[in-house]
Chain A
Amino acid sequence: MTTSLSPTRTSGLAFARRFISRRISWVPVFAAVFILVVMFVAAQAYFGNFLTPRVISSLLLDNAYLLILAVGMTFVILTGGIDLSVGAVMAFTGMLGASLLRDGLPVALVIPIMLVVGAAMGLGVGVLVQYFGVQPFIASLAAMFAARGLAFMVSLSSIKVEDKAILWLQSTRLQAAPGSWSITPTGILALLTVVVAALVLAYTRFGRTIYAVGGNEQSAKLMGLPVVRTKLLAYVISGVCAGLAGVAFTAYTGASYPLNGIGTELDTIAAVVIGGTLLTGGSGYVLGSMVGVFVYGTIKSAISFLGAEQSWTRITIGALLLVFVVVQRIIVARSRRR
């Protein structure tokens, strides 16, 4: 008894249909890429000198910290949660790191401490969410406040970083030619984070469980998957990424300031959503989030090219976020009806 459900014809149409049925979840990512390309083209047409290696390179270099945060946020949103604490945790770990360095601790110790502190904040959020049924946004909002307060507790004013290793991360420029393509160690760090996260999500049981939990937590439980551990770990990863972003941002600015990253959590969420990750969880890719960060960076660059108020960045991002959320909502409503 064989069902007639498989298309045996290998016509072009069948191929296309198969491609779509396999890759449908990549469509939002393609949409983000499309928007990025449209922006590039429009900016180039308008300014004439937008698409230069220098500007494109700076998309990565100026937003390395955001990219790292977006990677962590992608894990959390994929499970159906949200983490509003990332900006504040980034500021706190940055402050902590800068003050430890000032006190003379070796950088080889300071960076692990920053990562562990980030992980601990993430774990705290995860425990509140998972074991006490606190809504993710409340738990992470509390963590955001706690981290912001802690950052001010470290110091009320900015701390300059003079450690060579940290400054090396940003000051070293590997470039093809002066003014051409270039990359800094922080940029490499951010790209590495993306690659590792993409591999973890695509090729490990943990990664696939993240998707399963976000797709249908109840099912994942009934399938015997380790739901609790996976969700906790997603928040921990987001915390670690926030710690790493703290390193990158400190290197980028050469100093830590307790007010760093105010509103960054919103930028991060916006980048992830624009990159095609569904806020309801279960669908999305870190590569998409990377594209989302580039969209964000392009908007920011274009606005500074225009010489307009930087406040337009947030407004544009907010509008774009809205469009994507509404489209997502329509897609979800459609698939429910089916």
Chain B
Amino acid sequence: MTADSEVPPVVEMRGITIEFPGVKALEGVDFTLRAGEVHSLMGENGAGKSTLIKALTGVYTIASGTIAVSGVERTFRGTADAQAAGISTVYQEVNLCGNLSVGENIMLGHESRVAGRIDWRSTHREAARHLENLGVQIDTRSLLSSHSIALQQLVAISRAMVTDSKVLVLDEPTSSLDRSEVEQLFGVMRDLRDRGVAILFVTHFLDQVYEISDRLTVLRNGKLVAEHPVSEVPRAELISLMIGRELDELQALSRASVRTVDRTDAPVLSATQLGRKGSLNPVDVDVYEGEVIGIAGLLGSGRTELARLLYGADRADTGRLEMHGRPARITTPRNAIDNRIAFSSEDRRAEGIIGDLTVAENIVLGLQAKRGWLRKVRNPERVVAEYMDALGVTPADPHRLIRELSGGNQQKVLLARWLATAPQLIILDEPTRGIDIGAKADIQRKVAELSNAGLSVVFISSELEEVLRISQRVVVMRDRHKIGELASNDIEVADLVDFIAHDTIKKPESVA
């Protein structure tokens, strides 16, 4: 059921701009949502999806632009305002209270009361009615936390229905659901759509976009890229809209590194059936000396999860690791470091830099942690100067606090931190995200240089072109599965896009 353009839009956002100190998170974005449609909002990390949702749900106030709900212009000063206007949100991390009963979570703030005293019997009856409308029958007096995430999400949707919401925002509701749970959620979504609810749907799973949505809007770097009926956008085109390269342009880009890697010795690191329940299905990966392995896949495909398991940042449930052919036990970052493995997280601010320490202290930290507290790094100035120079950190002032540096320079400092520990394998998760072109080129060049010198690298990036250019082999991930492994010499970006979209490429050249 495709929305008819005659139907007046329930939500009309015009020229939305939101700025944070130093960044324009959204720039003049238009967005329209109609009654009785499922509308997917698409984009990679930092595209502005969540900012747009937060503007719509009253979490952020907008700097300029207008939001009209059913033709009436509104200003939201908080989530309560948006809810009063009929806009409800269900987040990935279900925003309910697990310590309360299912019925309470649905009715909280809307309980039936008799003279100020809550009438629990009728409150629960009401809650059960709302749940049944979605086809769910459970004991409303049971604790919310005793139910699965999938069911909690349905409870959250029921809550939205209590207030007669015209607009339902579903922010990555499916990312922790299994297939049958997704089916159930989609059933509910179709049902609500047929009852005239406008649904804004965000997911990283392309299959789901094509399965459930009527229209889609693509954002990139805070700007509106496209708005189309889903049926008019082929998968490959959608991916290229999201990652921001025309297919032709992508094909024209320079070739992947043609350097051949000597794979006669045992791999530096070899993972067999490495997995973790709920985040990554078992995966096999080998990394040889001096090799750059790219991991390609969209956000939520399991690429970060794989990196974290390889480093021991999270504990694997299944599988085993070998280094140079010998079994290795890597269950904590310490183990990894002792095995000369380094890892740079995708979340630079929360998991990388120590913001209130200086550049010098941040660089020495890895080496210092390795040496222990008692043996202070000898001659830290020299180490710091050497790596700051090698990576071209600017400003070249080691005593500045790292949080005052630009993203690109912070990333260089983190790279310096790891290189100073002399690793044999370095795992880089999105090292070039959100940094300027110059710094990006510097980092790419450095990675190539290091691998030429024998360092093994696992390189993760949402920019497929970058992955292909830097790596010799690409592991392709989708929906928390490894769907294949390709030699980057043999393929173009368009092939990779095809492979992510359909599992197949026109000229499959899988590497053993």
Least CB distance, A32 to chain B, in whole angstroms: 18
By a CB distance below 8 angstroms, the chain B residues around A221 are 79
Asked if B507 is at the interface of the complex by the 8 Å CB criterion, the answer is no
In the bound complex, CA of A21 to CA of B138 (Å): 11
Least CB distance, A209 to chain B, in whole angstroms: 8
Q: Is the CB of B99 within 8 A of A208?
A: no
Q: Is the CB of A3 within 8 A of B184?
A: yes
Question: A37-45, A54-62, A147-155, A212-220: which lies at the B interface?
Answer: A212-220
By a CB distance below 8 angstroms, the chain A residues around B159 are 223
In the bound complex, CA of A220 to CA of B79 (Å): 11
Asked if B369 is at the interface of the complex by the 8 Å CB criterion, the answer is no
Question: B101-109, B209-217, B394-402: which lies at the A interface?
Answer: B101-109
Asked if A283 is at the interface of the complex by the 8 Å CB criterion, the answer is yes
In the bound complex, CA of A2 to CA of B184 (Å): 9
Q: Mark A110-150, 1 if CB is under 8 A from B, else 0.
A: 00000000000000000000000000000000000000000
Given contacts A3-B135, A24-B146, A203-B117, contact A283 B109 (CB under 8 A): no
Q: Mark A188-229, 1 if CB is under 8 A from B, else 0.
A: 000000000000000111001101101110111111110000
Q: Is the CB of B146 within 8 A of A21?
A: yes
Question: B9-17, B90-98, B436-444: which lies at the A interface?
Answer: B90-98
Closest residue of A by beta carbon distance from B146: A21
User: Which residues 58-114 of B have a CB within 8 angstroms of A?
Assistant: 79-80, 83, 89, 91, 95-101, 104, 108-109, 111, 113
Q: Is the CB of A215 within 8 A of B151?
A: no
Asked if A13 is at the interface of the complex by the 8 Å CB criterion, the answer is no
By a CB distance below 8 angstroms, the chain A residues around B139 are 6, 18, 21-22
Q: Is the CB of A212 within 8 A of B138?
A: no
Asked if B118 is at the interface of the complex by the 8 Å CB criterion, the answer is yes
Asked if B187 is at the interface of the complex by the 8 Å CB criterion, the answer is yes
- Contact partner of B97 (CB less than 8 A), chosen from A3, A6, A216, A224, is A216
In the bound complex, CA of A214 to CA of B113 (Å): 23
Q: Is the CB of B99 within 8 A of A215?
A: yes
Q: Is the CB of A2 within 8 A of B135?
A: yes
By a CB distance below 8 angstroms, the chain B residues around A224 are 79-80, 83, 109
In the bound complex, CA of A21 to CA of B141 (Å): 8
By a CB distance below 8 angstroms, the chain B residues around A2 are 135-137
Closest residue of B by beta carbon distance from A78: B99
By a CB distance below 8 angstroms, the chain A residues around B143 are 21-22, 24-25
By a CB distance below 8 angstroms, the chain A residues around B108 are 208-209, 212, 223, 225
By a CB distance below 8 angstroms, the chain A residues around B97 are 211-212, 215-216, 219-220, 223, 282
Q: Is the CB of A1 within 8 A of B109?
A: no
Asked if B339 is at the interface of the complex by the 8 Å CB criterion, the answer is no
Least CB distance, B172 to chain A, in whole angstroms: 15
- Contact partner of A211 (CB less than 8 A), chosen from B100, B111, B117, B138, is B100
Q: Mark B141-162, 1 if CB is under 8 A from A, else 0.
A: 1110111000100000001000
Given contacts A2-B137, A21-B139, A22-B139, contact A215 B100 (CB under 8 A): yes
28 A–B pairs (Cβ distance < 8 Å), ordered by A: A1-B191, A3-B135, A3-B136, A5-B137, A5-B138, A5-B147, A5-B151, A21-B142, A21-B143, A22-B101, A22-B142, A22-B143, A24-B143, A203-B118, A205-B118, A209-B108, A212-B108, A215-B99, A216-B95, A218-B95, A219-B95, A222-B89, A222-B95, A223-B95, A223-B108, A223-B109, A224-B79, A282-B97
Could you tell me which A residues sit within 8 Å of B by CB distance? 1-3, 5-6, 18, 21-22, 24-25, 203-205, 208-209, 211-212, 214-216, 218-225, 282-283, 335
